[in-house]
Structures are given as structure tokens and as C-alpha cells.
Amino acid sequence: MEIRTLGSLWPVSALTLGGGGLGQVWGPTTREEAVATVREAVDAGITLLDLAPGYGAGEAESVIGAAFGGRLPAGVRVTTKCRVGHTPAAEVPGLLERSLSESLDRMRVDHADLFFLHNSVVPAGEAGGERKTPRGLFDDAVRPALERLAERGRIGGWGITAVGVPGTVLEVLAADPAPQAAQAIANLLDSPGEMRWFAEPPRPRDIIAAARARGTGVMGIRAVQAGALTDGIDRDLPAGHPTRADFGRAAPVRDLARELGESTASLAHRYALSMPGVDTVVLGVKNRAELRDCLAAEARGPLSAEVRQEIDTRLARPAGELLLSLRANNGSGSGG
């Protein structure tokens, strides 16, 4: 497993095991299979486990507790998250503290290496909600509370979900203190799928570049865009669902994968691993078979510039954007 550096933090494996699959967000599995998947991932060299209470109502975090009994293997780190929404400012510190404590109890550990705001930060004048935190609330209450948790040693650092109104995300990344980590869309379609609830273009590559410029670690999410970048969607989705639409858009990539003799998911993961500024790619696997496919993709190494160009060409990516992507990939590389 390739080891990179997560922003200005610490070494991290190129692949991170995400909690969505473990918490059955991406389809059914069993506690036993999830525990076995976590253990196999760590044995294979994965050093970061990305969890959240929202992944199966705490199930993903409970899987970590069951897998290691409170004794994480040496070098393995964990993250968790909290939804703040539009909670009154005075209540934010207590909310974060309680959520963190409950997550640590489920994982049977006493420290989280990273604690993420599990909301999109929206413009200050926009109404918040379960998945949206207004910029003013973030500046006045959320960021200071996260900083205090870090100062007290409850967490190693904090981060943001860098998906949402791009202009606001870029403002948050530019402000001080900057987040230590950001979870950003990293896939060959540049698509957030159903996470796109805003009108303007998503601009994930601009967000990744801005994070890198601040020394903020980038955890690439949605490498296979919720199953759109696979050989076939493995769960029922309604007609018109964004993942179904993206699956249609990805038909040229499936053709190329067949020509190259590998799965579409493998090609998509290798593309994400090759994107400049992405330090680690978060996997959404729910069982050992899916994990092994991802491990095999990482072992094949980054995609060549020629294959990346062919993917971008088949997807009709604008020529200027394609040239910037190639220059960046041929320059400083994809590691932190």
C-alpha cells in the first residue's frame, strides 16, 4: 500500500476505509462481514478508518469497536463526524462534545484523530437545515468549538465536508484557521451525484487545489460516485436518480475499461488516486469481495497520463481543463 501525507498532518495509506458500506448505506451486509472487512483492510495496510454516527445510526462505529475491542492496531487512525445543521450558536459546543463522546464510546477509543463537520457550509444569508450550516454559524460557533476540542486533546484536528456551494467552500478553506482536512469529491465525472443541491457547477478540482494550497489534507470521496462508476448498479434506484444519470454518462468509461481488461470500478479508483491534490481515497465497500477489488486496483498503480487523457477525451472534458489536469498530474504528483 502506497503511503502518502495527509496535508500537513501525518502519513496515511493511499486508501481509507469509509464507514458508509460498514453502516449499510450502500446496501446490506452483516456485522460479522463488516468486522471481517475492517480487519482485512488493516491487515492489507489501510491506516485510516473514516466513520460517522450517520453511517447506519452508529453501526459503522460499533463495527470498529467490535473489530478491535478498544485496541486499535499500531499506526491506525480513526475519524468521526457530527451534523450541526442550524443549531443555535450557544448549543453548538455541547452538541459537538456529546456527539464526539458517543462516537468514541461506540468505537471503544478515547481519541479521534480527525473530527469533521458532517454538513455543507452554505452562504451566511441562506437558511440552514439538517445537512446545511450557514457560514456565520460556522465562523462564530462551529470552528471555535472544534478548535477548543483540539486544544483539549479530545481530537487531533478537525475538517469539513467540502461539498456544497463552491464559492462558500472556497471561502472557508481560505479563512484562518484553515481546516486540517477536507473531504472532497474526487471522481472522473466531477460529480457529487445526489449531494448536489445547489445551482452552480460543483468545481471539485478547484476545491481540491485550494485545500492543497492551504496545507489542508484532502480525502477524496465518491470515487465510484455511489455506484455510477461500476460495471452495474447493485441496488434499486428510482428512475431519474442522479446515480442512474451518471451511470449513463459513464458508458464510454465502461467501454474503455473493457478494452483495458479491468473493471470500471478499478479504473475509477485508479483515476481518483491519480488526481493531483488527493491524499487518500475513501472506499465505500461493504464486504471483503469489494475491498479486495479496491486493493487490487491500488496495487496496479496510478493511471498513465495517456489513459487519463483518453478518459477525459471520451467524456468530452473541455480541452483547457484536460491540459491543466495533465500538467498537474505530470508535475507534483498525487500525494500530499
Looking at residue 318, what is its pLDDT?
A: 58
Residue 336, pLDDT > 70, answer: no
Q: Where along the chain do its domains lie? A: 3-330
Share of the chain above pLDDT 70, in %: 93
Tell me: cis bond preceding 177? Omega within 30 of 0 counts.
Answer: yes
Looking at residue 234, what is its pLDDT?
A: 79
Superfamily of domain 3-330: NADP-dependent oxidoreductase domain (3.20.20.100)
Residue 323, pLDDT > 90, answer: no
Mean pLDDT of the chain: 91
Give the end-to-end CA distance of the chain in Å, rounded to a whole number. 15
Average pLDDT over residues 65-73: 96
Residue 131, pLDDT > 50, answer: yes
Looking at residue 331, what is its pLDDT?
A: 36
Task: Quickly tell me which residue has 460543483 as its cell.
Answer: 202
CA-CA distance, 167 to 271, in Å (whole number)? 25
pLDDT (tens digit, 9 = 90+) per residue, 151-179? 999 999 999 999 989 999 999 999 999 99
Global pTM? 0.92
pLDDT (tens digit, 9 = 90+) per residue, 17-31? 999 989 888 778 899
Distances from the Cα of 249 to the Cα of 272, 308, 312, angstroms: 17, 17, 12
Average pLDDT over residues 89-95: 98
